[in-house]
């Protein structure tokens, strides 16, 4: 009997310990943190055990994204990020909300944003957004921290220096010319053709990335891109559900698919590298060359390739999509930009090249204004790795910061009453605050690919304006949504006509 009682007592003690642990981490700690923030005047929708505000988060998105869209307005934050819109209206510019048991602080006060972006203490890190995101970016730059991040960034940085990026111009030009040829062939049969430009730009930026960063062709990386797109959809689903620690290790249906896709992506990247002619890799100016020769272990090179395959194409696709949509809405700016392109091109037949890109002032203003109104990456994140102070607010370790790039870009206090209007000219005036325009983030974790992205954007736009005119198709519905990036929910259907010689 004695051993039975002992066993029973052991189990009871175990159950008690589990109850204490759960009560402590799911109830005691979150409410304690919430009280601490409330006392400092930072309010929010309130913590709910286990799920936090995740169901509300999901409901807000579902409700908005199923609503019809009326106009072509650029006043889109309420639609892009409905929880942000609702909570900041109720609780002010700094809001506490909960993803499961994890506290998040929305920061839209410029000085607080600046402090977080530019903090030098080393205690504000990127942190993990949610475990599914690891599968998309692997253990690449976006997800790394500490010494490992410093080493990877040091290895990858030279690939994105301005001179190196300029050396990729011929590959970018060749890739865009392929699109020009394709559209011209389609137009040949009719006077005009309807193009879903997001899909076209996804293929184009994949081709450009393959040729410049990986020294291969879209054909070779096609399967990787397709798998990354599937993974992105599953990641998005994961982000909108409650974060329960340890859940990612359970073999649920979605998790099993995620793991399978990840294994496939890694094995395809490995094959792509191994099958490359080693001499060719050594001589090439591709990102892959920098990664392979930078002293990183092979597995870490795979991680970086995985991250770059996604990060390098998606945001550029979105930037170009909105650029063409906005120029179709604002024909006056389309005409101004085309006039500039013809002016610069007339005096330089080798167009576009590194020198003439600098002469495209109107094109640059337009790209900036598109990045402001429709920033492809609408939010970024940081985490406090230690108890710390941000301005005058005490923040406990583990708190995450939600940095709403799109909302700040639409803030009337920073951009004036016409903040939601398309007016590229505004970029001729000095900025009101450092953080007012941050499509590539800010500080040490700023986007490594920004020189490349802007160069790509200018070449694509200038080349297309040289050959075609654009207007919105009657089938286009203006419905921007936040699907990891700021995407047009129902695609971007554009009527493309050829400019007569
Ligand atoms: C219009 C195009 C792009 C936009 C708007 C964009 C935006 C961003 C943003 C907002 C971040 C986070 C910055 C922060 O948290 O402060 C980021 C990070 C990053 N981006 Fe981009 N990006 C673009 C294109 C690219 C391209 C072309 C590449 C590579 C070929 C790239 C690679 C990365 C990487 C690796 C990171 C993580 C950097 C780190 O944490 O060290 N991006 N990007």
Per-residue pLDDT band at 183 (split at 50, 70, 90) = very high
Closest by CA to 115, choosing from 94, 133, 97, is: 94
CA 90 to centroid of ligand 1, rounded, Å: 31
Work out which ligand 1 atom sits closest to the CA atom of 456. Answer: 27
Check pocket membership of 316 for ligand 1, CB cut-off 6 A: yes
Q: What is the mean pLDDT of the chain?
A: 90
Q: Looking at the DSSP assignment, which residues form a beta bridge with residue 99? A: 52, 102
Please identify, by atom number, the ligand 1 atom nearest to the C-alpha of residue 319: 1
CB-CB contact of 210 with 168 (8 Å) = no
Q: How far is the CA of 413 from the centre of ligand 1 (A)?
A: 26
**8 Å CB contact between 461 and 172:** no
Residues 124 and 112: beta-carbon distance below 8 Å: no
Cβ of 141 less than 6 Å from ligand 1: yes
What is the pairing mode between strands 102-107 and 480-483?
Answer: unpaired
Residue 255 scores a pLDDT above 70: yes
**Ligand 1 atom at shortest distance from the alpha carbon of 380:** 15
Q: pLDDT, tens digit, for every residue of 43-58?
A: 999 999 988 998 888 8
How many CB atoms sit inside 10 A of residue 480's CB? 22
Nearest C-alpha neighbor of 384 from the set 125, 131, 146, 145: 125
Task: Work out the pLDDT band at 245, boundaries 50, 70, 90.
Answer: low
Ligand 1 pocket mutation, candidates 315, 456, 482, 486, criterion most atoms within 8 A of CB: 315
For ligand 1, whether the C-beta of 441 sits within 6 Å is yes
Tell me the pLDDT band of 273, cut-offs 50, 70 and 90. confident
- Ligand 1 neighbourhood includes 116 CB (under 6 angstroms): no
**What ipTM is given for this predicted complex?**
0.99
In which band, very low, low, confident or very high, does the pLDDT at 479 lie, cut at 50, 70 and 90? very high
Distance 486 CA to ligand 1 centre (A): 14
pLDDT at 277 over 70: no
Closest ligand 1 atom, residue 457 Cα: 1
pLDDT of residue 457: 97
Confirm or reject: Cβ of 453 under 6 Å from ligand 1: yes
Query: Residue 239 — pLDDT band, cuts 50, 70, 90?
Result: low
Instruction: Look at residues 105, 107, 100 and name the one whose alpha carbon lies nearest to residue 57.
Output: 100
Pocket test for ligand 1, best of 157, 449, 457, 461 (most atoms within 8 A of CB): 449
What's the average model confidence in pLDDT over 202-208?
92
Does the structure show a pLDDT above 80 at 244?
A: no
Task: Examine the pLDDT at 243 and tell me if it is beyond 60.
Answer: no
User: Which ligand 1 atom lies nearest to the CA of residue 375?
Assistant: 5
pLDDT in tens, 319-348: 999 999 999 999 999 999 999 999 998 877
Q: What is the pLDDT of residues 420-473, one digit of tens each?
A: 999 999 999 998 899 999 999 999 999 999 999 999 999 999 999 999 999 999
Binding site feature residues for heme? 447
Using the CB atoms, write b or e for 1-25: b if 16+ within 10 Å. eeeeeeeeeeeeeeeeeeeeeeeee
Dist CA 173 CA 75 (whole Å): 34
- Is the model more confident about 382 or about 253? 382
The per-residue pLDDT for 23 is: 85
Higher-pLDDT residue of 221 and 384 is 384
For residue 128, the model assigns a pLDDT of 76
pLDDT, residue 335, reads 97
Q: Which of 38-42, 301-305, 349-353, 439-443 is predicted least confidently? A: 349-353
d(CA 338, CA 174): 20
Task: Please state the rounded mean pLDDT for residues 195-210.
Answer: 94
Distance 448 CA to ligand 1 centre (A): 6
To the nearest whole percent, how much of the chain has pLDDT over 70? 95
pLDDT at residue 66 is higher than 90: no
| Amino acid 25: pLDDT | 87
**Which of 124, 140, 318, 440 maximizes ligand 1 atoms within 8 Å of its Cβ, making it the mutation to test the pocket?**
440
**Atom 7 of ligand 1: nearest residue by CA position:** 440
- Identify the pLDDT of residue 217: 73
Our answer on whether the CB atom of 153 is closer than 6 Å to any ligand 1 atom is yes
State the SS3 of 27-60.
HHHHHHHHHHHHHCCCCCCCCCCCCECHHHHHHH
Q: Judge if the beta carbon of residue 486 lies within 6 A of ligand 1.
A: no
Q: Is the Cβ atom of 380 under 6 angstroms away from ligand 1?
A: yes
With cut-offs at 50, 70 and 90, classify the pLDDT of residue 309: confident
**Does residue 222's CB lie within 6 angstroms of at least one atom of ligand 1?**
no
Please give the distance, rounded to the nearest whole angstrom, from the Cα atom of residue 84 to the centre of ligand 1: 22
Least confident of 169-173, 225-229, 250-254, 477-481: 250-254
Q: Whole-prediction pTM value?
A: 0.92
3-state class (DSSP) for residue 474: coil
Is the predicted pLDDT of residue 71 greater than 70, yes or no? yes
Instruction: Report whether residue 136 contacts ligand 1, using a CB cutoff of 6 Å.
Output: no
The rounded Cα 399 to chain-centroid distance in angstroms is: 21
Residue 247: what pLDDT?
Answer: 64
The CA distances from residue 223 to 19, 261, 268, 318, in Å, are 47, 11, 8, 20
pLDDT at 278: 62
Query: 447, 448, 457: which to mutate for ligand 1, most atoms within 8 A of CB?
Result: 447
Whether 448 lines ligand 1, by a CB cut-off of 6 Å, is yes
Contact 422/74 with Cβ under 8 angstroms? yes
Question: What whole-number distance in Å separates Cα of residue 474 and Cα of residue 494?
Answer: 9
Provide the greatest CA pair distance for the chain.
Answer: 99
Closest CA to 283 of 273, 293, 271: 293
The pLDDT tens digits for 73-103 are 999 999 999 999 999 999 999 999 998 899 9
For residue 439, the ligand 1 atom closest to its alpha carbon is: 5
Strands 102-107 and 400-403 come out as: parallel
Q: Taking residues 150-175, what's their average pLDDT?
A: 93
Q: What is the pLDDT of residue 280?
A: 60
């Amino acid at each position: 009997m004695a051993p039975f009682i002992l066993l029973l007592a052991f189990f009871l003690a175990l159950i008690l310990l589990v109850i204490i642990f759960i009560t402590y981490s799911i109830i005691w700690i979150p409410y304690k943190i919430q009280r601490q923030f409330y006392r400092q005047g930072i309010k929010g929708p309130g913590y709910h055990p286990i799920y936090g505000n995740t169901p509300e988060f999901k409901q807000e998105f579902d409700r908005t994204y199923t609503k019809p869209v009326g106009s072509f307005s650029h006043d889109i934050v309420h639609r892009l990020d409905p929880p942000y819109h609702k909570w900041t209206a109720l609780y002010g510019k700094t809001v506490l909300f909960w993803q499961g048991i994890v506290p998040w602080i929305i920061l839209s006060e410029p000085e607080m944003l600046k402090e977080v972006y530019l903090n030098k203490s080393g205690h504000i890190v990127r942190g993990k957004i949610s475990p599914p995101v690891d599968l998309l970016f692997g253990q690449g730059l976006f997800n790394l921290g500490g010494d490992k991040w410093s080493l990877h960034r040091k290895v990858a940085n030279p690939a994105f220096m301005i001179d190196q990026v300029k050396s990729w111009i011929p590959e970018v030009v060749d890739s865009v010319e392929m699109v020009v040829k394709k559209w011209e062939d389609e137009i040949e049969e009719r006077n005009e053709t309807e193009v879903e430009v997001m899909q076209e730009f996804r293929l184009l930026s994949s081709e450009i990335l393959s040729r410049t960063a990986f020294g291969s062709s879209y054909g070779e990386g096609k399967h990787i891109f397709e798998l990354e797109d599937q993974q992105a959809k599953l990641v998005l689903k994961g982000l909108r559900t409650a974060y329960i620690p340890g859940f990612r290790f359970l073999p649920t249906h979605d998790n099993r698919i995620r793991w399978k896709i990840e294994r496939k992506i890694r094995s395809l990247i490995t094959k792509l590298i191994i099958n490359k002619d080693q001499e060719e890799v050594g001589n090439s100016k591709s990102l892959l060359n920098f990664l392979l020769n930078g002293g990183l272990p092979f597995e870490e090179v795979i991680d970086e390739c995985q991250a770059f395959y996604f990060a390098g194409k998606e945001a550029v696709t979105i930037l170009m999509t909105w650029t063409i949509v906005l120029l179709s809405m604002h024909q006056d700016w389309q005409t101004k930009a085309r006039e500039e392109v013809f002016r610069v091109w007339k005096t330089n037949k080798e167009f576009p090249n590194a020198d003439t890109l600098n002469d495209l002032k109107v094109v640059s203003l337009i790209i900036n204004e598109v990045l402001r109104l429709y920033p492809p990456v609408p939010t970024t994140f940081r985490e406090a790795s230690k108890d710390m102070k941000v301005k005058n607010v005490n923040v406990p370790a583990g708190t995450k910061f939600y940095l709403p790039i799109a909302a700040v870009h639409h803030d009337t206090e920073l951009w004036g009453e016409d903040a939601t209007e398309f007016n590229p000219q505004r970029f001729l005036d000095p900025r009101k605050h450092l953080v007012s325009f941050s499509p590539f983030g800010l500080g040490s974790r700023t986007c490594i690919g920004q020189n490349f992205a802007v160069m790509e954007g200018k070449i694509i736009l200038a080349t297309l304006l040289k050959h075609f005119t654009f207007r919105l198709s009657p089938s286009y519905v203006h419905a921007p949504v936040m699907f990891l990036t700021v995407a047009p929910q129902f695609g971007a259907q554009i009527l493309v006509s050829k400019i007569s010689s």
